[in-house]
Amino acid sequence: MSWLTELGPYVFMIGIGVVLYHYANRIVYTPISGQMGPERWPKIVLGLFIAICAFEAIRRGVALLRKGVSRAVSDDDGGFSQHMEAHPLLVVAAAAVTVAYLLLFDVLGFFTATILYVASVMWIGGVHRPLLVAVLSLAMSFGFSFFFLKLIYVALPLGQGPFMQVSLLVMKLVGVN
Amino acid sequence: MDGFHLLLAGFAAVFNLQDLAALVIGLCVGMAVSVLPGLGLVMGVVLALPFTYAMSLQTSIILLTAIYMSGTYAGCYTAILYKIPGEPMDVPLLWDGWAMTKRGDAAKALGWALVAALTGGLVSSAVMVSLTAPLSRFALSFGAPEYFAAIFFGLTTVVALAGRSLPNALISMCIGLFVSTVGIDSTYGAERFTFGSDVLINGIPFVMVLVGMYGFGEILDKIGQGGKGVSIKVESGSASTRLPSWKELWELRSTFLRSTTTGTLLGLIPGAGATISSFVSYGMERQYGKRGKQIGTGIPEGIVAPQIAATASVAGHMVPLLTLGLPGSGATAVILAAFLLHGVQPGPFMLKDPNSALTVYTILASMFVSVIGMCLLGFLWIRMIIRVLVIPQGILIAAIAMFALIGAFADRNSMSDLWIVVIFGIIAWMMERVKLPVAPMVLGAILGPMAEDSFTRSMITYHDDWTMFFHSPISATLMGLSVMSLLFPVLKKFRQSARKSPAVDGTASTLAN
């Protein structure tokens, strides 16, 4: 298991680097004689990337062999040993809610989608009083609508069907035609 | 016009209504984000960036610089009064500051921090302003190889100072440099790594990378901590400030001189931001100060040294940005982004044109006004500003998430930008988990196009001769410094392990006995 956690990420990155290097070889352009092409710089960067990953993988492999699997090298030298905070599931939930927000942005429109998003993030963020969350998310969504639509003129999505009507009403309330 | 007259004209320009309003807003935002633990000043600058699209270049940079400047100061209040460091740079402040507060000297401790920030900010700004014109003239002699060497030096020092593991920092930098190559190449018009996607044809906008990695990534990080709020009682009398007397100030003259010099010089080194300046200055005071052995027990030197250095580093970082176009920290990278968003590449040529020279000196003048403004705000309104700490975390997170997302959307009204923000936010969160430092990747993504451009021009001009980076004294020196900055952490680690080995052996033999 130590082998996997110690070397796995570096081997994985070497794999990605090699695939991208292969793609760099396939960049299409008209060569000019005596002049470097557009693939040279990415290939230098990817070459360096692969070389560092390989060096680190070998270094760690050698260290593991010397010290034995039970005394892995990871802890103090800043390897890939993971440090997870107390609530990784909350992070997954926040990321999922944000993805849902982006997916529903065009359908629900800015105002309605923002009410749901702000309420969800507040709840995930530890505010567990339903009435407060409801009032605040409504107020914040209205406040952001005013700020972005009226003050800095951002064209935000209106949504579809009944949600568009809601957005239009909000626009009227914040004074945007 | 010479530098002095340009600076005077700059002062006059700062006091027009629009720029002054931006400056005051910037100071308040910087103070608010820097007192909140976990929300750094870089995040404050990043969140303000999308709102600068509609502003003039001058107003934008003044706003962002004010956030940067005040972000190095306001955290001292929570560190001293509540033992809550708003930023990592405030940690040394709480060792002596909190000890003074426990003794009932909180007002005095705040007074020392205020004078330190004022002195560090003003002296460092004055030194850097006087260096602007000579540095700019020096930079004009740079050709493509020298420019590449300077960028390479910037990247390597950031890498060297980024974290415990040099390979991981280098990996992070390579990822950033790679991200900057996606899209259409500027020399040949060739598509690179677009994989047939229309979204990637124009490249990955570095502003979205910044907002994602520093903005949304931080939000995820904060949520992962479980929405832990900070429970404090903001008492009306506790946040008052009592300034030290002239006699007390005179007694600490060596500390002031040493720390201002340290902060200003460290500010010039890319990667050595306010946090490193603050810790180094504190360490130097402990080693060389008259009362070094008492540091940590609640003496003013322990507050003055880190605070001066942290604030002094801002001017140190701003001048290389304005004269060479090279950012040395996360915050200056965002300020560079604001320049580029307005179609302006900062650098030595800015001082050649009278109009842009005035812009440069107006920005420099705004640093002086920011320092004085933040101290005034700190003195008068800090009680109100630290009330931001009593807002529940969940509400703050929701508001910040909205600013990050819709601020990013406001640039081009593009949903793909929002996806980039979210994807890079998740990448930043994952990178932090696996100990890949974020800063080298961000700087790699920003400096990547400049590095590639100067590298390509050098290779074309010198017919693929790799040694040309070592021909001119400037580029050879910078390349040498780059190599040294990469070797230094390796040598340091070898020395440390060599020192540790006998101890470990000793322990082993003792256990064996």
- Residue B370's φ and ψ, nearest 5 degrees, are -65, -45
Please report, in angstroms and rounded to a whole number, the separation of the first and last CA atoms in chain B.
Answer: 79
CA distances from A17 to A8, A36, A50, B310, B429 (A): 14, 21, 6, 39, 21
Res B94: pLDDT: 81
Q: Which residues of chain B have pLDDT under 70?
A: 1, 37-39, 163, 227-239, 270-272, 382-383, 385-386, 389, 500-513
Q: Closest Cα to residue B216, out of B405, B362, B77, B28?
A: B405
Of A36, A46, A156, the CB nearest to B460: A36
Instruction: Determine, for residues B422 and A126 on separate chains, whether the beta-carbon distance falls below 8 Å.
Output: no
- The whole-angstrom distance between B277's CA and the closest CA on chain A is 22
pLDDT digits (tens, 9 = 90+) for B292-305: 888 888 899 999 99
Q: Which of A18, A25, A36, A45 to mutate to test the interface with B (most CBs of B within 10 A)?
A: A45
Q: Is B229 on the interface with A (CB under 8 A)?
A: yes
A108: confidence class by pLDDT, cuts 50, 70, 90: very high
User: Which has more confidence, A39 or B135?
Assistant: A39
pLDDT digits (tens, 9 = 90+) for B288-343: 888 888 888 889 999 999 999 888 888 888 888 888 888 877 788 888 888 888 88
For Cα atoms B9, B18, B206, give the angle at the middle one, nearest 5 degrees.
Answer: 95
Res B508: pLDDT: 39
Judged against a pLDDT cut of 60, whether residue A75 lies above it is answered with: no
Instruction: Determine, for residues A127 and B227 on separate chains, whether the beta-carbon distance falls below 8 Å.
Output: yes
Among A1-5, A112-116, B405-409, the minimum mean pLDDT is found in A1-5
Nearest residue in chain B measured CA to CA from A134 = B395
Instruction: Determine, for residues B163 and A95 on separate chains, whether the beta-carbon distance falls below 8 Å.
Output: no
Instruction: Determine, for residues A28 and B415 on separate chains, whether the beta-carbon distance falls below 8 Å.
Output: no
- Residue B243's φ and ψ, nearest 5 degrees, are -75, 145
Instruction: Determine, for residues B224 and A140 on separate chains, whether the beta-carbon distance falls below 8 Å.
Output: no
CA distances from B499 to A66, A78, B108, B164, B495 (A): 20, 20, 42, 18, 6
Q: State the ipTM, two decimals.
A: 0.88
Instruction: Determine, for residues A153 and B54 on separate chains, whether the beta-carbon distance falls below 8 Å.
Output: yes
Residues of B in contact with A144 (CB under 8 A): 402, 406
Burial B61-83 (b: 16+ CB within 10 A, else e): bbbbbbbbbbbbbbbbbbbbbbe
Structure token pair of residue A149: 């639509």
Q: Is B450 exposed, middle or buried (0-12, 13-18, 19+ CB in 10 A)?
A: buried
Nearest residue in chain A measured CA to CA from B459 = A36
pTM of the model: 0.81
Beta bridge partners of B290: none
Res A112: pLDDT: 93
Of A87, A126, A153, the CB nearest to B392: A126
Res A84: pLDDT: 52
Sorted by sequence, the CB contacts under 8 Å of residue B283 that are 6+ apart come out as none
Res B207: pLDDT: 82
